[in-house]
């Protein structure tokens, strides 16, 4: 039996490198310094971007502050905001192919998944447009005959948006349209590894008629750009998606100005497989959960907790499916799993695997680099590891690669305890035909999202986020939108009935 299914390089010419510039106050801005990104699968330079410094970031924050304070967007009607957001949604759909190809070249993810990510993002913009028109506070008409109380919702102000490389266009769309729907102005800093789709988004925003300065983009690195976006006094909120380590740095950096911080961080997400589960569907979902986006996904199901009676059978099913998953050239529409983002990250994944094996874990499949004919060596084999104990690093750390860890349980209590035995709490899932088992699990696990008999389904209407060290705050849905709103109480006396505090002589 062949070990893996590998798609060799397809014959095609790569487009010339994309030239990325900052967007500040409605103008495209160059920097003397630039940085390059090479395709992780091809090794060729695919983008050259202006590299932001302290002064560029200051200018962008200043532009966002001015735009907010003038009220050009913050005081625009919901209808006006929604009109622009709907135009952006249509423009995204008209530009899917161009954006998706660039995203694949910079990230290494398969083109079919880039198309899905970019095209799907349009729906986030449409949903946010609906929120722009329906945002409202409360009224209190029971405070007494001479009183009326109104709770107003207002945009929080200038928002820094800092995004990671693994879903650059999707994650931007989990934040930006919601911030804009609320009336905020923003400065976006995409990852230095995948800057171009954010620049392309900037082009669409201008075409859609978003006023100058409402969305500014600064390209560059965590230092100094991300750092200044987290500390600057004119920024009211930072919304960050990325690693837990950088999330902690941002929390510390922002504390001086006490700005609001929303964090979407890492995960070590388990799927529990019960003996009464539909094992065929569960095995397919586990295979999807671990290899989607090469496992470089905050929601990757990187560990499974299987009942010991069915563990051997279930692992055999997952290994058999893993051999059939199509790894290889991400530009091949048939490929399901592409390249690892950097050689350093590939080496880090391998180090976790080798340490687990050295500590006594069993390699059921894979466990090494995966050279792909005609492409570089920046790929990793589909890897399944059993005999893993909960204290091993591979069972606890976010490996962020195509590596599945298998643990076993005997009772539901034990499965829930293993699920919660993590510093993370992003998502968790259970497979059982018994609704009582599913509901008990859902109520007792520490996670922002629980899936029962499915994995990784999401909708713009539903909130997304994590507990424990997976983050704070929520994105998308009405709860995500509310994060960008400030609450103001308005207390109004009606008539002249107030008794004086001091008797006047006059
Ligand atoms: P990262 O933390 O290395 O970088 C994220 C962003 O932060 C980048 O734009 C980077 O330039 C910037 N940055 C780096 N140092 C900074 C600093 N000191 N101050 C401000 N900004 C700084 O993360 P990554 O490697 O790009 O992405 C992978 C991580 O993101 C994983 O841990 C993954 O789980 C997480 N992630 C979480 C979610 C979620 O929704 N929970 C979604 C996707 C990715």
CB count in 10 Å sphere of residue 205: 23
Average pLDDT over residues 8-26: 96
Q: Does 243 lie in the same domain as 345?
A: no
- pLDDT tens string 256-277: 999 999 999 999 999 999 999 9
Q: What distance in angstroms lies between residue 264's CA and the mean position of ligand 1's atoms?
A: 9
Euclidean distance between CA atoms 392 and 394, whole angstroms:
5
Euclidean distance between CA atoms 202 and 217, whole angstroms:
7
Q: Has 438 been annotated as catalytic?
A: no
Using the predicted structure, report yes or no on whether residue 375 has a pLDDT greater than 90: yes
Q: Does 170 lie in the same domain as 38?
A: yes
pLDDT, mean over the chain: 97
* CATH code of the domain covering residue 275: 3.40.309.10
Q: Does 322 lie in the same domain as 208?
A: no
pLDDT at 437: 98
Using the predicted structure, report yes or no on whether residue 1 has a pLDDT greater than 70: no
Euclidean distance between CA atoms 323 and 321, whole angstroms:
5
Domain with 44 in it: 14-265+470-489
Q: Does 89 lie in the same domain as 135?
A: yes
Domain presence at residue 5? no
Confidence band of 117 (pLDDT split at 50, 70, 90): very high
Atom of ligand 1 nearest to the CA of 167: 43
Choosing from 103, 117, 192, 264, which is the catalytic residue? 264
Q: What angle do CA 120, 121, 125 make, to 5 degrees?
A: 125
Using the predicted structure, report yes or no on whether residue 253 has a pLDDT greater than 90: yes
Residues with CB under 6 A from ligand 1: 162-167, 171, 189, 191-192, 221-222, 226-227, 230, 241-243, 246, 249-250, 264-267, 298, 398, 426, 466, 471
Euclidean distance between CA atoms 89 and 70, whole angstroms:
26
Domain presence at residue 380? yes
Choosing from 117, 298, 364, 438, which is the catalytic residue? 298
Q: Does 319 lie in the same domain as 284?
A: yes
Residue 484: burial class (beta carbons within 10 Å; 0-12, 13-18, 19+):
buried
- pLDDT tens string 49-61: 999 999 999 999 9
Predicted TM-score (pTM) of the model is 0.97
Q: Does 229 lie in the same domain as 186?
A: yes
What DSSP string describes 338-375?
Answer: ---S-HHHHHHHHHHHHHHHHTT-EEEE--SB---TTS
Domain presence at residue 123? yes
- pLDDT tens string 210-239: 999 999 999 999 999 999 999 999 999 999
Edge-to-edge, what's the strand order for the sheet holding 237-241?
Answer: 27-29, 22-24, 215-217, 185-189, 158-162, 237-241, 260-264, 471-472
Q: What distance in angstroms lies between residue 313's CA and the mean position of ligand 1's atoms?
A: 37
Using the predicted structure, report yes or no on whether residue 18 has a pLDDT greater than 60: yes
Average pLDDT over residues 500-505: 88
Q: What distance in angstroms lies between residue 437's CA and the mean position of ligand 1's atoms?
A: 35
Residue 338, token pair as written in the block:
């592409």
- pLDDT tens string 462-490: 999 999 999 999 999 999 999 999 999 99
Using the predicted structure, report yes or no on whether residue 429 has a pLDDT greater than 60: yes
Residue 230, helix vs strand vs coil: helix
Pair 406, 418: CB distance under 8 Å: no
pLDDT at 293: 96
pLDDT at 506: 78
Q: Has 51 been annotated as catalytic?
A: no
Strands 383-386 and 427-431: unpaired
Pair 177, 85: CB distance under 8 Å: yes
Domain presence at residue 457? no
Q: How many domains does the chain have?
A: 2
CB count in 10 Å sphere of residue 119: 17
* CATH code of the domain covering residue 207: 3.40.605.10
Atom of ligand 1 nearest to the CA of 266: 34
Residue 490, helix vs strand vs coil: strand
Average pLDDT over residues 274-295: 98
Using the predicted structure, report yes or no on whether residue 20 has a pLDDT greater than 70: yes
Q: What angle do CA 129, 132, 136 make, to 5 degrees?
A: 150
Rounded alpha-carbon distances, angstroms, from residue 132 to 67, 79, 136, 177, 271: 18, 7, 9, 9, 36
Euclidean distance between CA atoms 304 and 403, whole angstroms:
11
Residue 116, token pair as written in the block:
């899905």
Q: Does 274 lie in the same domain as 261?
A: no
Q: Does 447 lie in the same domain as 328?
A: yes
Q: Does 286 lie in the same domain as 175?
A: no
Q: Does 354 lie in the same domain as 209?
A: no
Q: What distance in angstroms lies between residue 241's CA and the mean position of ligand 1's atoms?
A: 5
The proportion of the chain whose per-residue pLDDT surpasses 90, expressed as a percent, equals 96
Pair 213, 25: CB distance under 8 Å: yes
Q: Does 448 lie in the same domain as 360?
A: yes
Q: Does 121 lie in the same domain as 246?
A: yes
């Amino acid at each position: 039996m062949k070990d893996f299914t590998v798609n060799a390089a397809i014959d095609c010419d790569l487009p010339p490198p994309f030239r990325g510039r900052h967007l500040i106050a409605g103008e495209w801005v160059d920097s003397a310094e630039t940085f390059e990104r090479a395709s992780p699968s091809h090794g060729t330079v695919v983008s050259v971007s202006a590299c932001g410094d302290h002064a560029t970031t200051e200018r962008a924050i200043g532009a966002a502050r001015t735009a907010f304070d003038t009220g050009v967007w913050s005081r625009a009607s919901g209808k006006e905001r929604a009109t622009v957001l709907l135009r952006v949604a249509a423009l995204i759909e008209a530009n899917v192919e161009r954006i998706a190809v660039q995203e694949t070249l910079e990230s290494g993810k398969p083109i079919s998944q880039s198309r899905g990510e970019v095209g799907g993002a349009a729906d986030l913009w449409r949903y946010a447009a609906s929120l722009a028109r329906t945002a409202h506070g409360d009224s209190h008409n029971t405070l007494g005959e001479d009183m009326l109380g109104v709770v107003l919702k207002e945009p929080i102000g200038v928002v820094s948006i800092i995004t990671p490389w693994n879903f650059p266009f999707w994650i931007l769309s989990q934040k930006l349209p919601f911030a804009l729907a609320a009336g905020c102005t923003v400065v976006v800093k995409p990852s230095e590894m995948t800057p171009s789709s954010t620049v392309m988004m900037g082009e669409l925003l201008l075409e859609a008629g978003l006023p100058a300065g409402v969305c500014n983009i600064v390209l560059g690195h965590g230092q100094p750009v991300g750092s200044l976006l987290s500390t600057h006094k004119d920024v009211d909120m930072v919304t960050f998606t990325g690693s837990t380590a950088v999330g902690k740095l941002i929390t510390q950096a922002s504390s001086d100005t006490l700005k609001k911080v929303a964090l979407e961080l890492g995960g070590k997400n388990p799927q529990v497989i019960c003996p009464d589960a539909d094992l065929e569907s569960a095995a397919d979902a586990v295979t999807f959960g671990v290899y989607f986006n090469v496992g470089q996904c905050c929601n990757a199901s990187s560990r499974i907790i299987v009942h010991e009676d069915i563990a051997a059978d279930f692992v055999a099913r997952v290994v058999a499916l893993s051999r059939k998953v199509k790894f290889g050239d991400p530009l091949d529409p048939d490929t399901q799993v592409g390249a690892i983002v950097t050689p350093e990250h590939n080496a880090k994944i391998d180090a976790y695997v080798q340490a687990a094996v050295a500590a006594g874990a069993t390699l059921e499949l894979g466990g090494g680099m995966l050279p792909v004919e005609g492409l570089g060596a920046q790929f990793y084999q589909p890897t399944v590891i059993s005999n893993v104990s909960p204290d091993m690093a591979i069972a606890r750390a976010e490996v962020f690669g195509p590596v599945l860890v298998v643990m076993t349980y005997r009772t539901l209590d034990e499965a829930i305890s293993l699920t919660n035995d993590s510093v993370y709490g992003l998502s968790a899932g259970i497979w059982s035909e018994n609704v009582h088992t599913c509901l008990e699990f859902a109520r007792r696990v520490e996670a922002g999202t629980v899936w029962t008999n499915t994995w990784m389904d999401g909708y713009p209407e539903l909130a997304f986020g994590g507990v424990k060290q997976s983050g704070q705050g929520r994105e998308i849905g009405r709860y995500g939108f509310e994060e960008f709103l400030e609450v103001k109480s308005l207390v109004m006396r009606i008539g002249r009935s107030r008794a004086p505090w001091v008797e006047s002589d006059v």
